[in-house]
């Protein structure tokens, strides 16, 4: 049986996958704000890795011209025309495992976070990209069960972190028990231990408590996690309970974690008064850099300092994400890393 391993996000990457926002998605009323964010994000990522960007076919030339005008190094940017419902590449993109040094793309089913949103086009993006040659000479294995990239964290050394609220939700894989799902996780990613969080949620979150909004595995057995320090906030008790769970966890080798708390941004609301799931945990790790969401909050600077503690020696960037959180997600949600070997031979 192949010995696949899902590498940690801080291991070497060839590229980052993005899916471009467009007028036929929920971004329609926010395009003037979100497209400049994507353009700026491309300029930052291109300093550290290639990009594969899924774009509407009719907009390919216009997007290319705009990026060229911004002096983006286009030899590092691969525009791929494909239809999409939305932009959450973390959840509709492939999870890339390594068999030795050979990458294999696992194409899990995406059902719009339990049927909440249209997802038929997004669910076909990975297969379309593979068919069109976006991943040269890399095999693709289609999976028959639902799993989103934002719902799991791995350390690349045998440990996986996830939440019960998401993975055990009947709207994902009805009929599969916790034991059955854990067995599938261990088989797919060759992890030896699955750590399940019972607690943790953010109001306004459509993902049913994705782990990448709550707690992130970091190098050197560190977990960076969302800490609520306001007893009057509706999240306080639940996030305190999550913090207590994390404090008792160990990795696959029985080693405890060092916990690095991320500040609480407070209540962030949309223009129409909705509470938004703003979280500093939704950062992107890429080849020696960490891109951290910023929400125009007093706690933004502290968030950068705390992430710096979790990633000593990394370049830390703040990326304005107020427009992203309007649609319920942030930096990690709109990106998917592609490990070394997907585009280029590591030799």
Measured CA to CA, the distance from residue 275 to residue 268 in angstroms comes to: 6
Measured CA to CA, the distance from residue 230 to residue 298 in angstroms comes to: 14
Catalytic one of 218, 297, 321, 333: 333
Say if CB 104 and CB 4 are below 8 A apart.
yes
**311 phi and psi angles, rounded to 5 deg:** -130, 65
Say if CB 319 and CB 294 are below 8 A apart.
yes
Measured CA to CA, the distance from residue 190 to residue 157 in angstroms comes to: 9
Q: What b/e sequence results for 295-328 when a residue is b if at least 16 CB atoms lie within 10 Å of its CB, and e otherwise?
A: bebebbebbbebbbebbeebebbbbebbbbbbbb
If one counts every other C-beta atom within 10 angstroms of the C-beta of residue 256, the result is: 11
Is 321 tagged catalytic?
no
CA of residue 246 relative to chain centroid, distance: 20
Q: Show which residues are catalytic.
A: 333
């Amino acid at each position: 049986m192949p010995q696949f391993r899902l590498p940690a996000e801080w291991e070497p990457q060839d590229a980052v996958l993005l899916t471009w926002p467009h007028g036929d998605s929920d971004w329609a009323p926010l395009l003037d704000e979100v497209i400049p964010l994507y353009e700026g994000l491309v300029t930052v990522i291109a300093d550290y890795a290639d990009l594969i960007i899924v774009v509407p076919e009719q907009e390919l030339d216009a997007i290319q011209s705009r990026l060229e005008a911004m002096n983006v190094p286009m030899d590092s940017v691969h525009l791929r025309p494909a239809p999409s419902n939305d932009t959450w590449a973390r959840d509709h993109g492939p999870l890339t495992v390594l068999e030795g040094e050979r990458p294999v793309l696992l194409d899990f089913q995406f059902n719009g976070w339990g049927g909440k949103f249209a997802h038929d086009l997004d669910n076909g993006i990975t297969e379309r990209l593979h068919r069109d040659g976006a991943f040269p000479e890399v095999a693709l294995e289609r999976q028959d069960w639902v799993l989103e990239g934002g719902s799991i964290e791995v350390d690349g050394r045998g440990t996986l972190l996830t939440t019960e609220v998401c993975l055990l939700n009947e709207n994902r894989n009805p009929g599969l028990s916790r034991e059955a799902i854990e067995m599938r996780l261990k088989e797919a990613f060759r992890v030896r231990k699955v750590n399940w969080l019972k607690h943790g949620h953010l109001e306004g979150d459509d993902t049913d408590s994705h782990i990448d909004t709550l707690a992130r595995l970091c190098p050197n057995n560190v977990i960076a996690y969302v800490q609520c320090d306001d007893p009057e906030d509706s999240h306080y008790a639940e996030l305190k309970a999550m913090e207590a769970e994390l404090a008792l966890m160990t990795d696959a080798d029985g080693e405890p974690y060092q916990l690095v708390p991320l500040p609480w941004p407070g209540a962030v609301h949309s223009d129409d008064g909705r509470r938004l799931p703003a979280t500093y945990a939704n950062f992107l790790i890429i080849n020696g850099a960490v891109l951290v969401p910023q929400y125009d909050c007093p706690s933004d600077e502290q968030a950068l300092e705390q992430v710096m503690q979790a990633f000593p020696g990394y370049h830390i960037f703040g990326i304005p994400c107020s427009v992203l959180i309007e649609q319920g997600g942030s930096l990690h949600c709109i990106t998917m890393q592609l490990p070394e070997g997907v585009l280029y031979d590591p030799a």
